[in-house]
Structure 1
Amino acid sequence: MRRLLAISDIHGDLEKFERLLEIVNFDNKHDNLLLLGDYVDRGPHSRQVLDKVMELTAEGAIALMGNHDKMMIDALEHPEDPLHLKRWYYNGGIKTLENYGYRVEKNDAKYWYKTEEMPETLVINEEIRPHIDFLKTLPYYYETDTHIFVHAGVHPVTALELTEPYTLVWIREEFHKGYQGEKTVVFGHTPTKHLHKKPEVYFGENNIIGIDGGCAYGGRLYCLDVLEKMVYYAE
């Protein structure tokens, strides 16, 4: 039987990502790989992580949209609305832009920037365009007969196919405490230490599994062997 492997919230940490794939002995001929979003921001190598994700999807992996990936798209595709850019900067987008050779002067410690600097910053260069185009193709969830894979979670009462994409990449406590569905939901987005005050993968009593080990903050990058419920990690 092919393994079903899930990884989430890589956040530009290429070294941990590649090491984790080695630890689990990932083989695209024998494994199904699901990547649950947030490939960019905060870490040092967002550009290279996206290159790796594109390579893996070309070989059969399934990559989903995360909220940071969506913020990157919105900031670069909609420069007419400065709030998109400010939101992305505030959430770690500066590290991603630096990865593509952009230089933006900080306005204050919270990563908010001077409005007059934004148009120059938002010019999409030929290096970043293929990654934006790739991210725009990503689905928001993946479903099997027994599992739902999603970045942040699902709405407790709204049918999955009718749920707003925003909810699927941003929801937190309403899902954590309210989900009662029959299918097991595997998700990232919320570091596991916020779910049960421990860094380990969160196996919730209400049929949810949180796998964001806080890699963006120096924590672990987890891989869950979904069918066997085996956990691997790089730190």
Structure 2
Amino acid sequence: MAQYVIGDIQGCLAEFQNLLTILDFNPGTDTLWLTGDLVNRGPQSLATLRLIKQHDGCMQTILGNHDLHLLALHYGYGKLKRADTISDILNAPDRKELIDWLCQQPLYRQQKDYVLVHAGIWPEWTCAQAQLLAQEVETVLQHKPTHFFAHMYGNQPVRWNKHLSGDERLRFITNCFTRMRAITDYDALDFDYKGTLDDMPAHCLPWFKAPNRRNIDKTILFGHWSALGLYEADNVVCVDTGALWGGSLTAFNLGDRSVVQTPSETKLKFENFTHKK
């Protein structure tokens, strides 16, 4: 019996199936944690979503920013972008079943000494606090999705304040769990930088290197930051290794912390489309 964490799939079904074959994955005994962004930008978003939903007893995911984008479009918010590859889901005969299932997925999972999120946890939050904040968002998302998506998009506020309330509070929490990479040296979210650690501007630092970070009692597993790549330090493990961009799809074994990868078959070649998520 093995448990693996697999990085952002984003519709790269061939790589996902190759990786499951290499792992000799057994749905009857083995389990997967998926870092979210199951869909979008890759070539087989619909088939990927159907496969994971079919095996949701052993393939557990959290929501990423691309998954939320799909849900928002379903509920009539946001705009379909040129590089999006989720129209087949929005036009699928089983669209409602897929959307309803995706809406029930959390932003945060925890098991023993491991926590799974898509992008990160705000440095001021403990893991226990982060779990409660994630549940705040999940409750609104699952019970009032139209209201949630009407107010989800936006970059404000950029700083945490325990007195934040309403839609601003939900938006900040959601942005931390699904969009965060860098924070500024004055404790604010930075949505612009998406590159490597070596090229990070002097006024920014990765969220997991923030001074006095409070969520170091567990190992935080995440994806989202493909330019960071496989990263195991600072009580975090990043497993987004850019399958979408010509890199690889990565599985991290929670038992022995070993890594298995399969190379990309899906490198995007959009004209004037840069390495951004």
TM-score (norm 2): 0.66
Q: CA deviation at 1:125?
A: 5.5
User: Which structure 2 residue ranges, 5 or more long, are not aligned?
Assistant: 135-172, 184-206, 264-277
Q: What is the distance in 1 between the residues matched to 2:50 and 2:115?
A: 26
Q: Is the 8 A contact 1:153 1:171 kept in 2?
A: yes
Equivalent positions of 1:124-163 (< 5 A) are: 126-158=93-125, 159-160=129-130, 161-162=132-133
Partner of 2:55: 56
Partner of 1:14: 13
Q: Is the 8 A contact 2:3 2:30 kept in 1?
A: yes
User: Which structure 1 residue ranges, 5 or more long, are not aligned?
Assistant: 101-121
Q: Is the 8 A contact 1:44 1:96 kept in 2?
A: no
Partner of 2:259: 231
Q: What is the distance in 1 between the residues matched to 2:58 and 2:8?
A: 19
Q: Is the 8 A contact 1:64 1:139 kept in 2?
A: yes
Q: What is the distance in 1 between the residues matched to 2:47 and 2:93?
A: 15
Partner of 1:108: none
1:89-132 deviation line (CA, Å, top 9, x unaligned):
16x32x221x35xxxxxxxxxxxxxxxxxxxxx8x653422221
Q: What is the distance in 2 between the residues matched to 1:40 and 1:184?
A: 25
The letter of the residue matching 2:49 is L
CA 1:228/1:125 → structure 2, altered by over 3 Å: closer, same or farther?
closer
Does residue 1:217 correspond to 2:216, yes or no?
no
Partner of 1:170: 179
More helix as a share of residues: 1
The letter of the residue matching 2:124 is V
Does residue 1:75 correspond to 2:73, yes or no?
yes
The letter of the residue matching 1:229 is R
Other structure's SS at 1:34 match: strand
2:222 to 184, 187, 198: 187
1:96 to 74, 86, 89: 86
Aligned residues: 195
Q: What is the distance in 2 between the residues matched to 1:135 and 1:166?
A: 18
Other structure's SS at 2:55 match: helix
Q: Is the 8 A contact 2:30 2:58 kept in 1?
A: no
RMSD: 1.9
Between the aligned residues of both structures, percent identity stands at: 27
Q: CA deviation at 1:19?
A: 0.7
TM-score (norm 1): 0.77
